[in-house]
């Protein structure tokens, strides 16, 4: 049966008109015809050129020539369709703004109904159109002039587009939602056209630029709303025409076959899926629909297994996915299900893997990296068969990594006592699942017992996600080439030169990053109440290296500051995700907001670019920079950056700050809960606890700060004192000791201070700013001396010997006139003089992040 007629039959059975009958019917028919007439060989025309089932062209060259013609027609038709979608979406913003006024044209619910899934469909086709057009242009040396045939500098077998069609077909599930909503949308349009003159004027005179001459064509709202419905029914015909002009030895042939199978499966399943979604009515009048699906790791049975999870309006269904061999249909087997009614969720992060698990991950990552390098080095030189085998191995190894790498646990607890545990690699993805489930569980859902066999069988046609999120699958269908030099962008008044060599790859037609991506997380604002907050940063791409990092948790504040630099080794990265998370003792962490940022090699370079990101109600200020370079194989252990017993200039450099995090965090924690502690800094904490915190600071800053929040406050103060005592060189360099001693001899107070600050200004920037930071902190401690009994002289006595010391050579010099008691007196007097200053310069805690332009603000 003809696929188009099959789709029309479905529309008729659903009481949906197969053609729009309005008062401008004749005009609309001309518009529909115009699209086909503009491209006589268009496969989207139901009466397009009839290619035989078996290719009979005399030579591959003729087939490829016809194939190029078909692809050109597809591009032209896509451009027309995108203009039609643009015309349909044009009034959406105004209607949405009007919905919030006292006299709305449409209500918010009506706007959502009318434009349901249309923006997503438009984005999908825009991505497909851009990728296809770019590849066609890349294979054409020049455009033919009038009356010329045009010489093409391409080898037909090198033009690969099958992955673009497969990606597009994998997203046809968007049309499923549109079709299910179409009848209701049309009813809203017709009703409002009759009742509201303002909407009637809009609905009967929508314009679009159609054709190469950009002539403006008049539509009705209903005619444009029918366009996606008309379009999706012809997808199979497009693929059939293209497949019939593609030689079986072409790299695209298998990809187009798979795309055709999925397209046929979607069209034939539209009616069945619609009935399945509408067939079960819950007691409160809601109908069971598929809301979300995706692949997760199920750890409920004590072992990790990749599973396909389906979220319906009233239940969660976990299935075992079995990919079909060529020519057969994929299958799902029932795993378990949980009703959403009363379902409790809890998520935790377990970043500490046992050594054997860490070794297994390193082995998998190393093998992935090797296969990736082989594909890069031998692309095109060893034939398609070698590339296909290597890509298949890469997919299998990446699937193993996806199964064993997740560290985020989502626990599901049902009132019936049943519990299941899901594992995810991404906190961003976990939060999306949690939000979707929580939104449904907040309603008083009453579950109708499902027919599990029928529901599981329907998953093949209901699914919106076709396969696990393997980066090698998305990138593997395009040519993987060795990193190539990219010419630097021309300079303008607001741009800067970039490196002459940028290591990039093309994934689905888009350039992605390969090198070191640095993210400096500065501060946040917009919190509704004081909280201890941290920021989680994630990048995509191949998971040869850690793709996630978090800042330390801030002190309780409405405006938390971190000024912490995170660094990622990235390969094929295209997206950056940020989450702001509130941390509460004894309670689950809560995600306050999240957003994603597209990474583009043309906008990132080796200079910091500062921007403010909107994560819901929370604004986070960050800076980004990117350094392109070839990547080393993954390391077995994460690099450690100890902070104790390390020169302060090294610590501040590796942390990207002016004041080490250990100093800032300890001081902030003392100010948060130790200012009223009697004898703070004078009374020592437990030496074992202090040494434990020292060890954690040397290995993991976030864990150290978390423990710091729970540690006894005298232990916190002890960690800060220990840090300064164990510096290889004192905070005030030893060669400044004699200069400071001479400054103390000056009798005039003002002149003495000028001399002291002159010496301080000559110190290295990290030393100077850290010293000023500590001075301000000790002044704030002394302000509470009536309670804590710690005066400025007491604090100077404690910190003087740690912050200032004689040079080692002078300590061992025979005949030195300065004994230890005199040295201590001088150390205390120097710090005391600085503490007595009422207008201390402010300390700069972070490095200046120079920007290419003014701060940008990204709304998400």
List, for residues 429-459, the tens digit of each pLDDT value: 999 999 999 888 876 565 666 777 778 888 8
The whole-angstrom distance between residue 13's C-alpha and the CA centroid of its chain comes to: 42
pLDDT score of 177: 83
- Check pLDDT > 60 for residue 819: yes
Q: Which helix (H) or strand (E) holds 512?
A: strand 510-525
Mean pLDDT of 76-100: 87
Q: Find the Cα–Cα–Cα–Cα dihedral 706, 710, 711, 713, rounded to 10°.
A: 110
The answer to whether position 688 is within a domain reads: yes
Of the pLDDT bands very low, low, confident and very high (cuts 50, 70, 90), residue 486 is very low
Which CB contacts under 8 angstroms, 24+ apart, belong to 631-636?
631/503, 631/514, 631/515, 631/544, 631/545, 631/569, 631/571, 633/366, 633/369, 633/370, 633/544, 634/362, 634/365, 634/366, 634/369, 634/544, 634/545, 635/362, 636/358, 636/359, 636/362
Same domain, 656 and 792: yes
Closest alpha carbon to 336 in 452, 467, 463: 452
Verify that 315 and 456 share a domain, yes or no.
yes
DSSP-derived letter for residue 177 is H
Task: State pLDDT tens for residues 222-266.
Answer: 888 888 887 887 788 888 888 888 888 888 888 998 888 888 878
The distance from CA 508 to its chain's CA centroid, rounded to whole angstroms, is 17
Q: Do 124 and 165 share a domain, yes or no?
A: yes
Secondary structure, 3-state, 337-366: EEECCCCEEEEEECCCCCHHHHHHHHHHHH
Angle, helices 252-278/173-195, rounded to nearest 10 degrees: 50
The answer to whether 89 and 125 have CB atoms below 8 angstroms apart is: no
- The set of residues, in sequence order, having a beta carbon less than 8 Å from that of 516 and lying 6+ positions away, is 567, 568, 569, 570, 626, 627, 629
Does 156 score more than 50 pLDDT?
yes
Read off the CATH number of the domain in which 822 is found: 1.10.555.10
Asked if 64 and 90 sit in the same domain, the reply is yes
Position 633 in a domain: no
Question: The CATH number of the domain where 297 resides is what?
Answer: 2.30.29.30
CA distances (Å), 16 to each of 20, 84, 152, in order? 9, 20, 45
Does the structure show a pLDDT above 90 at 398?
no
The answer on 392 and 296 residing in a single domain is yes
pLDDT digits (tens, 9 = 90+) for 738-773: 999 999 999 998 999 999 999 999 999 999 999 999
Helices (H), 197-251: 197-203, 221-232, 235-244
Assigned domain for 23 exists? no
Average pLDDT over residues 207-222: 62
pLDDT of residue 460: 83
Task: Tell me, yes or no, whether 761 and 790 share the same domain.
Answer: yes
Q: What is the pLDDT of residue 364?
A: 87
Among residues 596, 628, 660, the one where a domain terminates is 628
Q: What's CA 412's distance to the chain center, in Å?
A: 25
What is the C-alpha separation between 526 and 559, in angstroms, rounded?
7
Asked whether residue 187 falls in the same domain as residue 249, the answer is yes
Measuring CA to CA, how many Å separate 409 from each of 13, 300, 584, 639?
45, 11, 18, 25
Shared domain for 745 and 612, answered yes or no, is no
With 0.85 as the threshold, say if the pTM is over it.
no
Integer Cα distance of 408 and 350 in angstroms: 6
Residue 80 belongs to domain with CATH number: 1.20.900.10
Shared domain check, 273 and 185: yes
Q: Which of 424-438, 459-473, 805-819 has the lowest mean pLDDT?
A: 805-819
**675 and 605: one domain?**
no
Confirm whether 354 is domain-assigned.
Answer: yes
305 and 259, same domain (yes or no): no
Whether 172 contacts 232, CB under 8 Å: yes
Residues 420 and 520 in one domain: no
d(Cα 219, Cα 467) in Å, to the nearest integer? 39
Distance CA 319, CA 452 (A): 11
pLDDT surpassing 80 at residue 797: yes
Domain-terminating residue out of 403, 427, 462: 462
CA-nearest of 301, 319, 311 to 452 is 319
pLDDT number for residue 209: 55
Residue 571 belongs to a domain with what CATH number? 2.60.40.150
Quote the number of domains for the chain.
Answer: 4
Give the domain extent around 546: 513-628
């Amino acid at each position: 049966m003809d696929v188009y007629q099959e789709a029309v039959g479905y529309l008729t059975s659903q009481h949906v008109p197969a053609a729009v009958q309005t008062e401008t019917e004749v005009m609309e028919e001309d518009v529909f015809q115009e699209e086909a007439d503009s491209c006589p060989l268009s496969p989207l025309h139901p009466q397009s050129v009839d290619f035989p089932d078996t290719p009979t062209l005399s030579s591959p060259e003729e087939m490829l020539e016809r194939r190029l013609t078909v692809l050109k027609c597809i591009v032209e038709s896509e451009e027309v369709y995108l203009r039609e979608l643009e015309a349909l979406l044009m009034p959406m913003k105004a209607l949405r703004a009007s919905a919030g006024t006292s006299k709305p044209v449409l209500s918010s619910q009506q706007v959502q109904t009318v434009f349901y899934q249309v923006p997503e469909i438009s984005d999908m086709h825009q991505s497909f159109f851009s990728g296809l057009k770019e590849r066609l242009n890349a294979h054409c040396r020049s455009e033919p002039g009038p009356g010329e045939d045009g010489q093409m500098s391409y080898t037909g077998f090198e033009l690969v587009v099958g992955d673009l069609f497969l990606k597009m077909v994998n997203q046809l599930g968007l049309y499923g939602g549109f079709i299910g909503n179409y009848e209701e949308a049309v009813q809203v349009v017709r009703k409002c056209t009759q009742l509201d003159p303002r909407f009637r004027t809009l609905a009967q005179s929508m314009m679009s630029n159609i054709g190469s001459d950009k002539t403006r064509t008049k539509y009705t709202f209903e005619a444009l709303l029918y366009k996606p419905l008309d379009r999706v029914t012809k997808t199979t015909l497009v693929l059939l025409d293209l497949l019939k002009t593609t030689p079986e030895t072409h790299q695209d042939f298998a990809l187009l076959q798979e795309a055709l199978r999925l397209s046929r499966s979607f069209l034939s399943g539209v009616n069945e899926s619609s009935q399945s979604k509408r067939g079960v009515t819950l007691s409160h009048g809601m109908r069971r629909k598929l809301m979300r699906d995706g692949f997760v790791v199920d750890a409920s049975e004590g072992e990790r297994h990749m599973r396909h999870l389906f979220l319906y309006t009233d239940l969660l269904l976990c299935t075992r996915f079995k990919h079909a061999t060529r020519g057969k249909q994929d299958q799902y087997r029932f795993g378990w299900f949980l009703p959403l009614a009363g379902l409790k969720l809890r998520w935790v992060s377990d970043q500490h893997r046992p050594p054997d698990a860490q070794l297994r991950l390193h082995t998998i990552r190393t093998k992935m990296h090797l296969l990736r390098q082989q594909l890069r080095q031998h692309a095109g030189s060893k034939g398609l068969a070698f590339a296909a085998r290597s890509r298949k191995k890469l997919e299998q190894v990446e699937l193993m990594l996806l199964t064993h790498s997740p560290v985020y646990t989502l626990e599901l607890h049902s009132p019936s006592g049943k519990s299941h545990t899901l594992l995810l690699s991404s906190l961003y993805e976990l939060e999306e699942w949690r939000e979707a489930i929580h939104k449904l569980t907040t309603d008083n859902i009453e579950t109708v017992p499902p027919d599990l066999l029928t529901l599981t069988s329907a998953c093949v046609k209901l699914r919106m996600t076709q396969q696990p999120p393997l980066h090698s699958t998305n990138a593997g269908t395009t040519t993987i080439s060795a990193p190539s030099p990219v010419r630097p962008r021309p300079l303008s008044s607001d741009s800067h030169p970039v490196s002459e060599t940028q290591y990039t790859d093309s994934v689905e037609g888009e350039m992605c990053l390969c090198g070191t991506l640095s993210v400096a997380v500065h501060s946040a604002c917009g919190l509704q109440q004081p909280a201890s907050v941290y920021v989680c940063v994630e990048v995509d791409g191949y998971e040869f290296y850690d793709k996630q990092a978090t800042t330390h948790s801030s002190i309780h504040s409405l405006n938390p500051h971190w000024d912490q630099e995170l660094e990622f080794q990235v390969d094929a990265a295209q997206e950056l995700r940020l989450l702001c998370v509130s941390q509460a003792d004894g309670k689950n962490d809560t995600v306050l907001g999240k957003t994603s940022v597209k990474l583009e090699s043309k906008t990132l370079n080796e200079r910091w670019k500062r921007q403010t990101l909107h994560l819901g109600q929370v604004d986070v200020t960050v800076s980004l920079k990117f350094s392109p370079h070839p990547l080393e194989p993954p390391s077995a252990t994460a690099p450690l950056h100890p902070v104790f017993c390390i020169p302060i200039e090294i610590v501040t450099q590796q942390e990207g700050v002016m004041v080490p995090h250990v100093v800032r965090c300890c001081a902030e924690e003392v100010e948060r809960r130790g200012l009223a502690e009697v004898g703070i800094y004078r009374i020592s904490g437990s030496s074992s606890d202090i040494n434990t915190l020292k060890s954690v600071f040397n290995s993991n800053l976030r864990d150290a700060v978390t423990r710091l929040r729970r540690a006894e406050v005298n232990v916190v103060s002890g960690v800060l004192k220990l840090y300064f005592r164990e510096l290889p060189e004192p905070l005030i360099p030893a060669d400044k000791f004699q200069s400071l001693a001479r400054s103390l001899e000056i009798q005039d107070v003002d002149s003495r201070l000028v001399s002291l600050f002159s010496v301080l200004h000559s110190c290295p920037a990290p030393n100077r700013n850290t010293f000023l930071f500590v001075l301000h902190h000790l002044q704030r401690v002394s302000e509470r001396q009536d309670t804590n009994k710690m005066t400025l002289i007491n604090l100077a006595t404690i910190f003087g010997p740690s912050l200032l010391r004689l040079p080692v050579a002078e300590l061992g010099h025979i005949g030195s006139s300065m004994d230890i008691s005199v040295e201590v007196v001088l150390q205390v007097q120097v710090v005391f003089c600085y503490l007595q200053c009422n207008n201390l310069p402010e300390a700069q805690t972070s490095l200046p992040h120079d920007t290419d332009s003014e701060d940008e603000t990204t709304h998400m």
